[in-house]
A and B are shown apart, each in its own frame.
Chain A
Amino acid sequence: DGGITQSPKYLFRKEGQNVTLSCEQNLNHDAMYWYRQDPGQGLRLIYYSQIVNDFQKGDIAEGYSVSREKKESFPLTVTSAQKNPTAFYLCASSIDSGGTDTQYFGPGTRLTVL
């Protein structure tokens, strides 16, 4: 089955720890994205990548880091510098780079800081 997978579904972190959220797609999409969703709000863009080994900051990149070493994978690291990391994180991908292609989403990861 083609699609986007995110793991884990739930993640708990102690304050001061870095954690990495996984996002994998087998759709052969060029572009991948990370969004954050807080209660009562829409999604906000953290980082995006239009091609392997390249990525750009979104609107709320502070306290986050990413890598894009493979076309299929776009992991997000939430660092200890992120002041309020408890949120729902969604990964998305689209077929082309730099165009206006529809984005398709993974099932999300719920991160809770204890």
Chain B
Amino acid sequence: AQTVTQSQPEMSVQEAETVTLSCTYDTSENNYYLFWYKQPPSRQMILVIRQEAYKQQNATENRFSVNFQKAAKSFSLKISDSQLGDTAMYFCAFMEYGNKLVFGAGTILRVKS
């Protein structure tokens, strides 16, 4: 069974600085998709970024970028110029063909002013 591990239960960062959240996963498949979701205090799950495993180029969405290392099965999220609104729980998730998502336990990120 696929597993997703987020080894950092909590992290904090100063406003305007950069922070990296870690995620590793386990699969024997070659084709799959990886996601980062953000869950702010409102508890709404918001898609941050998506990466296709067949693409070598790392995905980027404004201040959010990933470092996808397929051989190492690693998928970290970098948040640049952190803002107070980035304070949230961040979940890494894995999907194979068939649309079934497997989530990690999450990392609480606190942005301090």
Contacts and interface: CB of A to CB of B under 8 A. Distances in A.
A42 B43 contact: no
A101 B97 CA distance: 9
Given A105-B44, A107-B44, A43 B99 contact: no
Nearest to B92: A42
A103 B33 contact: no
A86 to B, nearest CB: 15
Given A100-B33, A102-B47, A108-B44, A45 B101 contact: yes
B99 A108 contact: no
Contact of B96 (A33, A45, A97, A100): A100
A105 B105 contact: no
A56 B98 CA distance: 12
Interface residues of A, number: 27
A90 B101 contact: no
A92 B45 CA distance: 9
B95 to A, nearest CB: 6
Which of A44, A98, A101, A105 has the most chain B CB atoms inside 10 A of its CB?
A: A105
Contacts of A33: 99, 101
Size range of the interface on B?
20 to 34
B50 interface: yes
A31 B100 CA distance: 11
Interface string A81-114: 0000000101010101111111111011000000
B91 interface: yes
B50 A102 contact: yes
Contacts of B33: 100
B4 interface: yes
Contacts of A42: 4, 91, 93, 103-106
Q: Which 10 A-B pairs have the closest CB atoms?
A: A42-B103, A105-B45, A43-B103, A100-B33, A42-B105, A107-B44, A108-B43, A42-B104, A100-B97, A42-B91
Interface of A: 31, 33, 40-45, 48, 50, 58, 88, 90, 92, 94, 96-105, 107-108
